[in-house]
A and B are shown apart, each in its own frame.
Chain A
Amino acid sequence: MSKKRLIQGNEACAHAALYAGCNFYAGYPITPSSEVMEILSYEMPKLGRTFIQMEDEIASISAIIGAAWGGAKTLTATSGPGFSLMQEGIGYASITETPCVIVNCQRWGPSTGQPTKGAQGDVMQSIWGTHGDHAIIVVTASTVRDAFDMTVKSFNFAQQYRVPVVLLMDEVLAHMRENIDWPEPGDIDVIDAKRPADVKTYKPFANDEFLPFGQGARYHITGLAHGAEGFAVSDEAAARELTRMVGKVQNHVRDLALHDRYMLDDAELAIISYGITSRPAQSAVDLLRAQGIRAGLLSLKTLWPFPDFLIDEVAERVDTIVVPELNMGQLVREIGRAANGRSQVIPVSRIDGHLLTPAQIADAAVAPFATSAGKTLGKVVRS
């Protein structure tokens, strides 16, 4: 029987990083993520692994990228202001195809905002925060156990695809305690980057194989547009390389699109949510079902590459898609684009630093119909 432990989201994240084999952490303290580094500062030396507190978040992301090329599995954790500072480094990690994980415990922003209040305002920044087109994977977590699992999966994705992976948590999940089944070694797969069979002929950007510095090959890494050997290229070659890099994630959207479904099979109304908001969203489904409305939930764990195919499946079948978010409407734009007019897409927004309640989501789901063609969803004219 597995052990049960009452722990916080940030604790789960820190211990999951160790579970995934993370052996290098660099970070800078910031609310509400600091427990991740506090725990690792204590746990990592015990395991002979490396923890370092850097001088700022720019140094933190730079150090984890350097450490990845030194041969480590690397993590940093931060929140909004620090995440903004990391964007330069995230772009460098992307163009140098460096496996690394960045945890962002989202807080209310912009700027200093409300440091101890939760939000989901960093979705677009996670996807598009660094300049230029680029490859990145963005995932979320909605429960403490989920924070554990998604931390491990973030490492796996980073290693498999050689990209920076952003795990979006939020202040509520970061500090919330739940009694979880503690994963034993082997319960969750841990994946490491493929190593080249022949180190002598290794080209650092020829494929997803990863050979760190000092292991038999000497090569060059740069943030400039570069070819397979790491040396600068331009024009058509640069376009070809960028296409390949972005394709690494976009062409694997089906492998990457982690998600949960709840009562979606016969649904006529779908809620599509992610992160902490998936919890009240699931309760909202129950409330709506109790009212005789066949509601269902698609909870997205992977936000980028955006899983259009999942939205397609839902939009084909339901009349209405409700998208609750703790921001003024970020992922709803992607969902609306993917639904492409097949369903009415209704954003539900809350930005006072508190969670949406199940009733707020359920009410928003039925509100459009109370004033239009009646409450029978099937008769509502699609927008």
Chain B
Amino acid sequence: MSDNYRKFLRTSQLPHVWCPGCGDGMIVKALLEAIGELNLDQNKIAVVSGIGCSGRTPFILDFNTMHTTHGRALAFATGIKLANPELRVFAIMGDGDASAIGGNHFIHACRRNLDLTALVFNNGIYGLTGGQLAPTTPVGKRSTTSTMGSIEQPFDLVRLALGAGAGFVARTTSFDHKQLTSYIKRAILHKGFSFVDILTSCPTYFGRMNDVAEPYDMVHYLRDTSSPLHDCTCGETDQPKAEVMPTGIFREEERADYEALYKQKIASASGKRSTS
């Protein structure tokens, strides 16, 4: 099983661009292991990304791969999936990609419920542009555009996805490898829109500016700032403690997906009169 992922690597494009200590490679390994364990057809997988460090993922994957524009991965993925429903489509996004510039596409994809899997590589910062503030940067954390600490309330992408109607919503971290692989498998098997928020490490920018520059310390930071679902609820409000991100599966409920509903529409539309 451990080598099950290698056949999916586009070795001509290695080495990848990620920094030492970056969590993205661990996420990719979990993704490929999940795909391998489910015996998905390599030719029928499409991986779409936006712009940023996470956006470089498709380069090294031997599938049908598409590196699109910043924030739009889900909109491109929507077109691919509807044009060829045989394809199993993954949208890989960064946290700024998915929730700042692509926030609109993200919430509408949650609500629309196409059978897609969205993975957000959530490192709380803009890595590829050099460490700027993201909508997910915790309050008080420094970036090159918040050198005195962020004063903005960050997005909780899980709550955003739940509010927007996503059917499968989970969160874990890039270092919880087994859990991550299992969540991605469950996301793939979920019929309808599935979303995994993957907290990951950026020692180069987030770490250096926030006193966790060593990859080892960065992993500990992730451990200390995340907590399984049942540990982090407090009292009546059911709110997580400040700075602690709950992990787990938050929703796993299937409802009719867009393609199924569209097929019904096609069935009921046949025989209707023409508009011309």
User: How many angstroms from the CA of A58 to the CA of B74 in the assembled complex?
Assistant: 11
B104 near A66 (CB under 8 angstroms)?
no
Residues of chain B in range 245-276 having any CB-CB distance to chain A below 8 Å: 262, 265-266, 269-272, 274-276
User: How many angstroms from the CA of A39 to the CA of B276 in the assembled complex?
Assistant: 9
Whether a CB of chain A sits under 8 angstroms from the CB of B62 is yes
**B271: chain A residues within 8 A (beta carbon):** 46
Contact with B along A18-52 (1 / 0, CB 8 A): 00000110100000000000010011011010101
Whether a CB of chain A sits under 8 angstroms from the CB of B146 is no
**A133: chain B residues within 8 A (beta carbon):** none
**B83: chain A residues within 8 A (beta carbon):** 23-24, 50, 66-72, 74, 212
Contact of A26 among B79, B87, B266 (CB under 8 A): B79
Most buried by B among A62, A89, A221, A223: A62
Of chain B, the residue at the smallest CB distance from A24 is B83
Residues of chain B in range 59-78 having any CB-CB distance to chain A below 8 Å: 59, 62-69, 72, 75-78
A231 near B269 (CB under 8 angstroms)?
no
Of chain A, the residue at the smallest CB distance from B63 is A218
Residue tally, chain A, CB below 8 Å to B: 50
Whether a CB of chain A sits under 8 angstroms from the CB of B44 is yes
**A186: chain B residues within 8 A (beta carbon):** none
B265 near A213 (CB under 8 angstroms)?
no
A39 near B42 (CB under 8 angstroms)?
no
Minimum distance in angstroms from A17 CB to a CB of chain B: 12
Given A63-B78, A92-B69, A231-B13, A5–B276 Cβ distance below 8 Å? yes
Given A214-B43, A218-B43, A63–B262 Cβ distance below 8 Å? no
Of chain B, the residue at the smallest CB distance from A56 is B104
User: How many angstroms from the CA of A170 to the CA of B79 in the assembled complex?
Assistant: 27
Question: How many cross-chain pairs have Cβ atoms below 8 Å apart between A and B?
Answer: 155
Minimum distance in angstroms from A57 CB to a CB of chain B: 10
Most buried by A among B42, B65, B72, B274: B72
Whether a CB of chain A sits under 8 angstroms from the CB of B100 is no
Whether a CB of chain B sits under 8 angstroms from the CB of A7 is yes
Contact with B along A347-370 (1 / 0, CB 8 A): 000000000000000000000000
Given A24-B82, A63-B78, A220-B65, A43–B105 Cβ distance below 8 Å? no
Of chain B, the residue at the smallest CB distance from A64 is B79
Minimum distance in angstroms from B246 CB to a CB of chain A: 28
A59 near B104 (CB under 8 angstroms)?
yes
B75 near A54 (CB under 8 angstroms)?
yes
Of chain A, the residue at the smallest CB distance from B65 is A220
B82 near A70 (CB under 8 angstroms)?
yes
Minimum distance in angstroms from B193 CB to a CB of chain A: 14
Residue tally, chain B, CB below 8 Å to A: 44
**A221: chain B residues within 8 A (beta carbon):** 65-67
A43 near B274 (CB under 8 angstroms)?
yes
Given A55-B108, A213-B46, A213-B84, A69–B66 Cβ distance below 8 Å? yes
User: How many angstroms from the CA of A52 to the CA of B84 in the assembled complex?
Assistant: 14
B64 near A39 (CB under 8 angstroms)?
no
**A192: chain B residues within 8 A (beta carbon):** none
Contact of B59 among A48, A89, A220 (CB under 8 A): A220
Minimum distance in angstroms from B251 CB to a CB of chain A: 22
Whether a CB of chain A sits under 8 angstroms from the CB of B238 is no
A71 near B84 (CB under 8 angstroms)?
yes
Whether a CB of chain A sits under 8 angstroms from the CB of B86 is yes
User: How many angstroms from the CA of A11 to the CA of B275 in the assembled complex?
Assistant: 9
B275 near A222 (CB under 8 angstroms)?
no
Contact of A58 among B10, B13, B72 (CB under 8 A): B72
Minimum distance in angstroms from A179 CB to a CB of chain B: 13
**B275: chain A residues within 8 A (beta carbon):** 11, 39, 42-43
A42 near B272 (CB under 8 angstroms)?
yes
Contact with A along B32-47 (1 / 0, CB 8 A): 0000000000111010
B276 near A62 (CB under 8 angstroms)?
no
B266 near A7 (CB under 8 angstroms)?
no
Whether a CB of chain B sits under 8 angstroms from the CB of A88 is yes
User: How many angstroms from the CA of A205 to the CA of B265 in the assembled complex?
Assistant: 37
Whether a CB of chain B sits under 8 angstroms from the CB of A328 is no
Whether a CB of chain B sits under 8 angstroms from the CB of A309 is no
- Minimum-distance CB pairs A-B, first 3: A70-B83, A66-B79, A67-B79
10 further A-B contacts with Cβ under 8 Å, apart from A11-B275, A220-B10, are A45-B266, A59-B105, A62-B69, A66-B75, A66-B79, A68-B79, A70-B46, A214-B86, A218-B64, A232-B59
Interface residues of A (CB under 8 A from B): 5, 7, 11, 15, 23-24, 26, 39, 42-43, 45-46, 48, 50, 52, 54-56, 58-60, 62-72, 74, 88-89, 92, 182, 212-214, 216, 218-224, 231-232
Interface residues of B (CB under 8 A from A): 10, 12-13, 42-44, 46, 48, 58-59, 62-69, 72, 75-84, 86-87, 104-105, 108, 262, 265-266, 269-272, 274-276
